[in-house]
Structure formats: structure tokens, C-alpha cells
Amino acid sequence: MARGPVGGGPAGGPAGCYLDANATEPIRGAAREAAIAALDLVGNPSSVHGAGRAARRLLEDARERVAARFGARPAEVVFTAGGTEANALAIHAFGAGRRILFGATEHPSVLAAARAVAGDAAAKVPVRSDGRADLAALAALLAGSGGGPPALVCLMAANNETGVLHPLAEAAALCRAHGALLHVDAVQAAGRVPISLAALGADSLAISGHKLGGPKGAGALLLRPGLDPTPLIPGGGQERGRRGGTEPLPAIAGLAAAAEEARPEDAATELAPLRDRLEAEVRALAPEARIIGAAAPRLPNTSCILLPGVPAETQVIALDLAGVRVSAGAACSSGKVARSPVLEAMGLGETAAGEAIRVSLPWNATAESVERFLAAWAPLRERARRRAA
């Protein structure tokens, strides 16, 4: 993997030490080149003249590459504006007339779409204390429908705050046994752990370009054959009538390039050791600190660190002033730091749920990234210890 300064810009520039990849990854070189090249194509992919056909070829090439990367057929890849729209398209299209069951730690885009479609009838699937979906509870919810309609189950591949991986293969088997559909939000997992729509046995899967190191503005919904969603955005028949509007070709070209360059094996061999070192040093510096989700399988780049007695907002601001960029909660949900519903769902309680930060290593993280975080976090923890003494 080609590596550069963390943050994708000059060392010491405005990005500082950027450790917030789960909010957005630094753009990858291949993705930047693909997006810039696509900017030079003047044609609309829906036009029939030569310039339009050239743009269409680029669009369909990107579709084939994304399909091959994530185990789908090209005809079943619907390009969207991002993961939020991909989740909403699946839930609005396939949740109508079904019971909707969603994981207790799902992304806000899934929660909002589920409630928009099903209201209070949407039911929450609890998670265990390690953050993984409670499969026994899911089985009971699926079996408890009686003579009611089958369900749409929404379960993320990896949690955006803790990095915890859900047992998707087992969930998919339960869904098949009960005639339910399974939608997977794979936004955080794609490119970091192996993800394949076909291998999972899921019915739909959402990804987002900028979480892979592509440009912001493009995502995709991948479908199993036979599913044909009613568009959320009707228009000129683009995306086989599934999503109206001229496709943002530069962002889509960048998405395809980033998807090919974001390799789970690189994350496992390069980022996981850095994450493990960071967590070991945090435990050594502060025995009272907790790594949330450490008992479960997790993304190789993500650490959720709880420092008792120090609000997450205080930690994020102090680290930012030291040039280290981390976050707390779902960065795209509100733009502010608040108590985490994800951590509450894991049983941590209101106070603890407001004391955790997320460190998510970008694809170009280095050992220096870990050292800079620790150098900024250690005095933060020491100040908290003195105040508590």
C-alpha cells in the first residue's frame, strides 16, 4: 500500500494528525486520478452522441468494477449520492408492507429510514454487551410474527463507533429461514474487512465512496438478482429507472478506483498492529480506561476509548488543540458531540456513554500517528487524574 502523510495533505498542514477515517478517509491517489480524468469527459452518460457514449463507457466500467469487488452483478449496482441514500433506498423500497427490524446500534440513516417507513412498528434488535447483535433475540423477533408479513432486517456489517463486526452470515441464515430480507449497511466494513453480497447471502448492501478513500458524493446500493427497488428519486430513468438524476461521474469513477485499492489484507497487516499498539499503550498509561468492544471481532482500524470522568467533548477538543483529529459518536449525524446511543445500547449507561472517543486510523496511518495520539492523550488523562485526586 502506498503511504503518505496522515490526512492526505502536507505534514503539519490543516489536517494535522488525522485519525478520523470512519468519518471520511483521506482520498487515495488512484481515486484522485480517476476523478480528475472523469472531469475531462464533457458528455452526459445518457446522451447518445460520441461524448455521451464515452461517459457511458466510463460509468459502466465503474459499475463492473464495483460489482466485481463486492460480489454483485453489474446490472444490480445502483449508484447513489452516498451510504445514507443507499440505506434509505433499500429500506423505503423493501420495507413497505413488511415488518422492519433494525439493530440497536445502527447508523442514524437506517434508524431514520426505518421509522419513516414503519413508524413505531419498527422493532429494535438488541445487542449483547460486546456490541454484537443478539441472534437469539433476532430469531425470537422473526418467529414472533405469527401470520403477519415477513420482515426486512437491517443490520450493519461493522459499527461506525466501536468497529464491532456483526455475525452477518448467521443473521442471513435466520432471515432465509423466516422468509425475511436482509439489508446490510457495509459503509464502514467495505475495504477494511472482506465483504461480498453473494457470499453473505444478503439481499442488499450499501457502500459509500468517501469511506473507502474516494471522493465524497457517490455511493452504491448492491442488490441480489430479482430485487427491483422503486426509486426514491424519480426522474429521467437513470440507473435503470432506480435512481433519477445525472450520475456524478467523477465521484463514481473515484469510488470504483478506491474500491479496488482499499484491500482488507492491507488493513489487517498494516492497520491492525498499529491499533493494537495504541490500545496497549492506552491501557498502560491509564488502567482505568476501557476499550469498548474489545471482546468482539472488530474493524482493524478502530478503537473506541472510554476515559471515565472526562466528557467526550472535552477529549475531542483537547486533542484537536494538540493537532490530533478524532471524533465521538456518528460524525455525520449531527455535527456535534453528544452521548452515544450505541454505547447506551451496549449497556454502558448514560454517563459512560458520554465519555468515549473514537480513534479510526486512515489507510495512510503510520507508527508516528500512534505516537502523536499518545503524546496528546497522555497529558489529557493526567489532568483528569489530578482533578480527581
Which positions are catalytic?
Answer: 332
SS3 readout for the chain:
CCCCCCCCCCCCCCCCEECECCCCCCCCHHHHHHHHHHHCCCCCCCCCCHHHHHHHHHHHHHHHHHHHHCCCCHHHEEEECCHHHHHHHHHHHHHCCCEEEEECCCCHHHHHHHHHHHHHHCEEECECCCCCECHHHHHHHHHCCCCCCCEEEECCCECCCCCEECCHHHHHHHHHHCCCEEEEECCCCECCECCCHHHHCCCEEEEEHHHCCCCCCCEEEEECCCCCCCCCCCCCCCHHHCCCCCCCHHHHHHHHHHHHHCCHHHHHHHHHHHHHHHHHHHHHHCCCCEECCCCCCECCCEEEEECCCCCHHHHHHHHHHCCEECECCCHHHHCCCCCCHHHHHCCCHHHHHCCEEEEECCCCCCHHHHHHHHHHHHHHHHHHHHHHC
**Which amino acid belongs to residue 58?**
L
At residue 221, what are phi and psi to the nearest 5 degrees?
-110, 120
